[in-house]
Amino acid sequence: MEIQRQIFIFSEDITLVRELIGAAQVLAEGKPAILSALVIGGSTSVEQMQNTGVDRIYRLDTLPPDCLVEDIFQTLWGLTREIKPDYLVIGATTAGRLICGRLAARLNTTALTDIQTIEFDAQGLLIRHMVFGGGAQRLERPLRQPVVMTIGKGQFESQAARSEKVAEVIPVAFTPPETRAILRERRELPPVSVNLAEAKRVVCPGRGIARREDLTMVEELARSLGAEIACTRPLSEGLGWLPRERYIGISGAYIKADLYVGLGVSGQVQHTIGITDARVVVAINRDAEAPIFKQADYGIVADLYEVMPALIDALRSA
């Protein structure tokens, strides 16, 4: 009998776990495999995962209150030694990246991050992910076993409850970490006001905006277009003018909007990778050589401070 593959899944984010199960199905190559997942949460979490094709659910009720998600590492490590998985599939969240790295280092093995596709050839597994901040894609083959990988949201199809298989639920206890940082304070940040991925229209200011005050004009334009405001990374991370949820790109949001209007955006690939799925792209930039024009449906070479008011007027009078 063929040895069954062991695939072990973890993410603190239940919706992501369902997508990781989707990825695990691809990893199984249609052959019998044992899918296990470590889940934090009560019965509702477990229910969401029933009948998705998972064989075993290791359930940890809750983390001790002063613990970070990352502190689950020791528990996960214990299970890893028990299960001896061929593939460890981790959700690409901040905690997930930390856990992935620690697992890979401890196992002295390959870590494959932010995987976009999984395929197999005669010699085995091949994965694809981006390098150069989205400037290129790379096809890679892991040369060590087991393989630890991270997968982010929206890459693999979420597994709905359709399998007959009822997972065995195994309660696990929390193993405290050996040494760790001491949590002194934790604060929920104000709820995210925007879901760019869902926005129909997006106005995106870049560094071409000279002053923070000028964002009011951008807001006005957004209102007249019925658009959400996004931005390039420097406006958020460097200048702090807009919250980080609002920047588009490889390390930010991906949009699927009907319309994207870039205002003073140069069009570096790390940004434009996030607008690949936008239907119509408009670029306004005073530099005719700006790379964004090569990726736009409509281009206007002009000062955005002249274009914005004119556009607001035109939209209003129409």
Q: Which one of ligand FAD, another protein, none interacts with residue 286, CB within 5 to 8 A by kind?
A: ligand FAD
Q: Which span sits near ligand FAD by CB under 6 A: 11-19, 67-75, 110-118, 286-294?
A: 286-294
Q: Is 152 an interacting residue with respect to ligand FAD (CB under 6 A)?
A: no
User: CA nearest 272: which of 289, 293, 245?
Assistant: 293
**CA–CA dist 73, 76 (Å, integer):** 5
Phi, psi (rounded to 5 degrees) for 299: -120, 135
Q: Which span sits near ligand FAD by CB under 6 A: 71-79, 156-164, 179-187, 203-211?
A: 203-211
- Please select the residue that binds ligand FAD; options are 154, 234, 240, 309, rule is CB under 6 A: 234
- Residue whose Cβ sits closest to ligand FAD: 249
Q: Which one of ligand FAD, another protein, none interacts with residue 140, CB within 5 to 8 A by kind?
A: another protein
With CB under 6 A, what is the number of residues at the site for ligand FAD?
26
**Which residues, in sequence order, are CB contacts of 191 under 8 Å at separation 6+?**
none
Identify which of residues 252 and 299 has a Cβ nearer to ligand FAD in the complex.
Answer: 252
**Which residues, in sequence order, are CB contacts of 266 under 8 Å at separation 6+?**
206, 207, 285, 287, 290, 291, 292
Residue type, 163: S
Identify whether the C-beta of residue 302 lies closer than 8 Å to the C-beta of residue 282. no
Name residues contacting ligand FAD, limited to 34-93 (CB under 6 A).
none
User: CA nearest 151: which of 16, 310, 301?
Assistant: 16
Identify which of residues 25 and 272 has a Cβ nearer to ligand FAD in the complex.
Answer: 272
Positions in the binding site for ligand FAD (CB under 6 A): 133, 206-208, 232-234, 247-252, 264-266, 268, 270-271, 285-287, 290, 303-305
